[in-house]
Amino acid sequence: MKIVVLDGFALNPGDLSWQNLKELGECVIFDRTKPEEVLERAKGAQALITNKVIINKALMDQLPLLKYIGVTATGYNVVDVHAASERNIVVTNIPAYSTNSVAQLVFSHILNVVNRVELHANSVRNGEWTKSPDFSYSKSPQVELAGKTLGIIGFGRIGSKVAEIGLALGMKIIFQNRSEKTDLPSGIIQKSLSEVFAESDFVSLNCPLTAENGEFVNRDLLKTMKPTAVLINTGRGGLINERDLANALNSGQITAACLDVLSTEPPLPDNPLVSVQNCFITPHIAWATFEARQRLLNITIDNLQSFITGNPQNMVK
């Protein structure tokens, strides 16, 4: 079997081993593949492994040997699943590999806003404490999370883990979800979307992006938030109207936004959020801890091996 990895660098920049994948067949690994390079590199492949490289109907039409597409992510919108199904091409994804890592970054962002550790550490490094007339000083408001309300949009694996951590910190947890959740732990309450945004001190977006909820975080919804509120997004950039959020931050309508995802990645030079005040952006790293990437690679290999043995797992619909 010829296996082609089209964009392996994000998953494995060099600190993991491809050896177990190479043992499954003739394996060619590319760090990155431009759109105009995909066809030439994919020719002759029975299996393609992709993260962000698009595998569409036009490409599949030109790859008669292709039998398997493995997406090294949970989201699989880069693949035309309908076209793959028509051609009996199996498509798999990687569910639930980064739950702990994503939830961890949610609170990294929250703690950055309320404590600004790096800001204060840099001030000490720059000599400000040495010159201070007092034994203690702060360069930003210091906020205790206990007793604050954390609102979560989307209560799947990641949303549930965010809630668990919030409870451990003494926060009040409310959430909105498309379906009703039952058997909730004590201290967690399901509410409507409008209630979550209006009542929360922190709102964490942990829902998938669908055709129905694109840019649902817009001017009207942002207006309902507390002026002291903080918005966190580790879900998908397309959940937010970025111009509306930039305006809300610049006008002081909300206190801060913490984003690990944007509508276009890498961001375009004119993205209104990149330089806006009180907007803390990380470059889509929530999923990328060493442990999560190792788990991702292991499942990627297991998915392909299961397909080869005739028992495919993690197939997408």
Of the candidates 109, 116, 199, 236, the residue annotated as catalytic is 236
Within 207-247, strands assigned E span 230-233
Question: Are 93 and 73 in contact, with CB atoms under 8 Å apart?
Answer: yes
Of the candidates 265, 291, 293, 295, the residue annotated as catalytic is 265
Give catalytic status of residue 109 as yes or no. Answer: no
Give catalytic status of residue 265 as yes or no. Answer: yes
Question: Are 222 and 245 in contact, with CB atoms under 8 Å apart?
Answer: yes
- Residue 254, phi-psi category: left (phi > 0), alpha (psi -120 to 50), beta (remainder): beta
Q: CB count, 10 Å around CB of 226? A: 17
277 to each of 31, 249, 270, 282, how far by Cα in Å?
A: 35, 7, 15, 15
Give catalytic status of residue 284 as yes or no. Answer: yes
- Cα(236)–Cα(206) distance, integer angstroms: 8
Of the candidates 284, 291, 293, 295, the residue annotated as catalytic is 284
> What token pair was written down for 287?
């999923």
Helix, coil or strand: residue 133:
coil
- Cα(146)–Cα(143) distance, integer angstroms: 9
158 to each of 98, 120, 153, 220, 287, how far by Cα in Å?
A: 8, 30, 10, 26, 11
Question: Are 301 and 21 in contact, with CB atoms under 8 Å apart?
Answer: yes
Question: What one-character DSSP code corresponds to residue 161?
Answer: H
Residues with a known catalytic role: 236, 265, 284
